[in-house]
Amino acid sequence: MENLRRKLEEILLEEPPPTLDEVTERLGYRANTFLRQHYPDLVRAIVQRHSKSRKDNFRSLGHKLRAILQEKQPVSLRAAARRLGRNPSWLGTQFPEISQAITKRYRLFLAKQSRQMKKQGAAIIRATALELHSNGQYPSLKRIVRVLGGAQGLRGEEIGEILTRVRRKLKL
């Protein structure tokens, strides 16, 4: 009995604090009835310590999510969840405001990045059209895409609009 008391006291110092079910199983019991009957104070301490640890971990998740929201490089909720070892939908239900803010910030980041890429692509298309024209070649859509090796992240109609403006400028 004294040996069992010592084991329970040692368990009280473990990190992370185990559940009572884990302690019961580890000590070779099928149910925690014996432990509750003979060591009620130690059992209560084990249960309370584990409960406090869970609450502290939950609170720290909220702090970690707020920190992720403040990082310079926005991340998706899925990436944040992966980093925290959690499921994104669980984070969404437990921390709805922060999760929505992370999602919104990431979407805005992607949209801004997309606009920048399209702007760069348009500049490259314009420059290529002007260069082709200066070399005596007609700046057609096919020719520009062939020269550049792709559409530079733009759709055909977007390239067509750019070329229409360039051709007007060149009076073609």
d(CA 147, CA 128): 8
Q: Tell me: pLDDT of 116 over 90.
A: yes
d(CA 93, CA 67): 18
Are the CB atoms for 99 and 91 separated by under 8 Å?
Answer: yes
* pLDDT value at residue 159: 93
Mean of pLDDT values over 87-95: 96
Average model confidence (pLDDT) for the chain? 94
> Which residues, 6+ apart, have CB-to-CB distance to 141 below 8 Å?
156, 159, 160, 163
Q: pTM for the complete prediction? A: 0.68
Mean of pLDDT values over 26-50: 94
Mean of pLDDT values over 74-81: 97
